[in-house]
Every structure is written in structure tokens, then in C-alpha cells.
Amino acid sequence: MTNAAQAKANRNVLFLVIVASLGYFVDIYDLLIFSIVRVKSLTDIGIVDKADITAKGTFIINVQMFGLLLGGIIWGIMGDKLGRIKVLFGSIILYSAANFVNGFVHDVNTYALVRFFAGIGLAGELGAGITLVSETMSKERRGYGTMIVAVVGLFGAVLANIVAKHFGWRNAYFVGGGLGAVLLLLRVGTFESGMYKNAQQSEVSRGDFLSLFTNGKKLLKYLYCILIGAPLWYVVGILVTQSQEFGVALKAKDVLNAGDGVLYTYIGISVGDLVAGIMAQITKSRKLTMMLFLLLSIICVAYYLSSTGMSSGQFIKICFLMGCTVGYWATFVTIASEQFGTNLRATVTTTVPNFVRGSLIPINAAFAFFKGHYGMINAGYIMMILLTIISLFSLSQLQETFGKDLNYMEETL
């Protein structure tokens, strides 16, 4: 390759990483906006009882997560059958439209229905972006690419909190839709991965989601990829999202604000993702990096759940620390992407993070069960311990993928 051709290729890769990063930025903004405006938006549409706010809020977030589960399957299969770029365009159009509509809702059922469609749309962004970056960059450097995507993207939570706090929850949804429309224009310049183009020429079946379930070894590997990420979403989806309720249980000095909690948790996650990405590159081990973060996260969660009488300032600091220790999202998604061949990679990379997000549904149910029997704080401890043990075991069963050549096909029989 000539110097000019190499320079052009490098520019193309840089542009792809930037656009994927901005895509994930918008994805996180729209994904977390409900967690940030949950109490205010439900109060404004007539839900005033605290127990009802918790119950209706859990219902809406579960419906959104179910949309993510369904969308992960749909977009994942489409990513392998039709191409990664088509998924990026389709998903952006759907979740942008849903967020515009979300600004006009006036009842719980409509709210939940719109979040369902937003969830389906949001499911395609991260997986397709990470797949493109993983397949386009060199095997030695792709960890840096996925790290950049995650670090930039997670600041979407910061913007979501700022917009919601200063301009109101309805305008926050309108802004989310507008950001998606701008992103759609940027996507016009992106290009398909070379590995996928090669896969198109092959007769091997692409995007065969059911093939993940017809082979025991492959199924276990797929399940392990999902389970290693469950603690992160538990921290965000329950410990931080329900911080107002945890504050009451902990006799906090102030009312704990979930929007601020999400903001500082995601700032922490961005810092953690940066550290995790660099650590994985230095140690040449994604598994070792994830193990260390999982162990640190359980310590920070224990600190949070034992902070009786905390102030809002202490809460923010704890959220930042918890975010740092669960900042392995990019590493986790990269591990999943590197476990499977090109003809199944988009399917896996798109479904795995969305199944992790969707795992909040059974996690919510299990947490409610333990809360009913042992109280809110004890339930918080029990769930974190169980999920961490499951994640550590699952991690131990996966192969180390740092530096793995991804240009191969997966047998689908």
C-alpha cells in the first residue's frame, strides 16, 4: 500500500471511530433519559404517590428494556445479513422519531409504548458501531478504538442530565430526537467493513441467530458473554436509578437525586472505560482487566449500601466511584465481539449488550423479591454478590481474545 493510500485508510478509520463515538453518545443520552427524568415526568402526568412512581417507573423501564431485547435480535441479524451500515441508519431513524413523540406523552401506557419503540431503535447503535470498529482497526489497536467509542459515548449521560435539569423533561426528549437527526447526516460518510464484504462473497450462512442455540458449546459461550456484564446494569438500573428510595432506607440527610446520580456514575464509567482500555492494552488481557474491575465494584457498592446518613455531596462522590469500578463496558462488549466469526459477529455484538440491558427485567423482579423478604439495603447486597459471583465464573469460562484475528467464519451448523 502506498503512503497516500495508507493515509487515506487511516483517515477513514479515524472518521469511523469519531462517528461511532458520537453515535454511542446519542445512544446513551436517549437510553438513560428516562432514568434521569423518571420522577419529574411521572409526577407531571399525574402520578404523585411515591409507591406508584416506583411501580410505574419500573413498568416503563422494563418495557423499554424489552424493546432493547427485541431490537437487539432484529438489528443483530440484520447487521450480519444486510450489513452494519444499514443497521446504523435504521436504528437512528426509529429511536429519533420515538424520542420526538415521547415529548408529547400524557399517560403511563403511551409513555411505555413509546419507550418500547425507542428501546428497539436504541438496540442497534452500539453493536453495529463496535463491530465496524473491531473489524476495521488492526487486531493490536482495536481495543483503543472501542475504548474511545465508549469514553466519548458515555458522556451522553452528562448532556442528558444537563438538558433535563435546565430545560425540562419534555424538551430533553425533543433534544434527543434532534441529536439523532444530526447523527443521521454524519452517517452518510461511513463505509462498510472489509471483513463483512468478504463474508458477503461466502456461502456460509450470515446472521443465523438460532445457530447460537443449536450447539451447546456455542450457547454457553454466548450466555457467558451476557452474564459478565450484568453487575454494571444492576448498578445503573437499580442502585442509582432508585437512589431516592435507597436514600430513604439509608436515612440520607438530603433527597438523593437520580439524575445527578446517573450523571456522576457515567462520568465515572467514562473514566473507568479509559483506564480499563489502557490496562487491557498494557497487560494484553481483557479477562484480567474485567476481573479486577468486578472485584472493585463489589467493594464500592458495599460502601454505598453502608453509607447511613449520607449527604447529597457524598452520594455524588460514591456514584462517581461506583461508575469508575463498573467502567468495563467497552472491554466487555469487545470481548463479546471477539468471541465469534464475521458471519455472526454483528448478531452477537448487538444482542449481547442489549440482553445485558434487558437483564434488568429479571434483576428488577429478583430485587423486588429480596426487598420484600429482607428489606431494601439487604436486597442490594444480595443482588450485587450474586451477580458478581455469576460474572466472575462466566469470565473464567471465556477465552482470552486480545490480539485475536477476527477474519474468519463461524460454523452455523
Residue-range domain boundaries for the chain: 13-191+207-397
Share the mean pLDDT of the chain.
86
Percent of the chain with pLDDT over 90: 42
Considering only residues 201 and 22, tell me which one the structure prediction assigns the higher pLDDT: 22
Lowest mean pLDDT among 58-67, 77-86, 292-301, 313-322: 77-86
Output the nine-digit C-alpha cell for 70: 427485541
Summarised one tens digit per residue, pLDDT across range 370-387 is 999 999 999 999 999 999
Give the model's pLDDT for residue 181: 85
What are the CA-CA distances from residue 136 to residues 129, 178, 194, 215 (Å)? 11, 29, 7, 29
Residues 6+ apart with CB under 8 A from 347: 76, 77, 79, 80, 207, 208, 209, 212, 340
Confidence of residue 397 (pLDDT cuts 50, 70, 90): very high
Residue 59: burial class (beta carbons within 10 Å; 0-12, 13-18, 19+)? middle
* Cα–Cα distance for residue pair 346/148, rounded to 1 Å: 19
pTM > 0.85: yes or no? no
Give the model's pLDDT for residue 300: 96
Summarised one tens digit per residue, pLDDT across range 316-348 is 999 999 999 999 988 888 898 888 887 788 788
Considering only residues 105 and 144, tell me which one the structure prediction assigns the higher pLDDT: 105
- pLDDT at residue 135 tops 90: no
End-to-end CA distance of the chain: 38
Give the model's pLDDT for residue 43: 94
CATH fold of 13-191+207-397? Growth Hormone; Chain: A; (1.20.1250)
- pLDDT at residue 174 tops 80: yes
Confidence of residue 192 (pLDDT cuts 50, 70, 90): low
Give the residue-averaged pLDDT of 73-98: 83
Confidence of residue 195 (pLDDT cuts 50, 70, 90): low
Give the model's pLDDT for residue 308: 94
Give the residue-averaged pLDDT of 10-20: 79
- pLDDT at residue 82 tops 70: yes
What are the CA-CA distances from residue 42 to residues 119, 132, 260 (Å)? 19, 38, 18
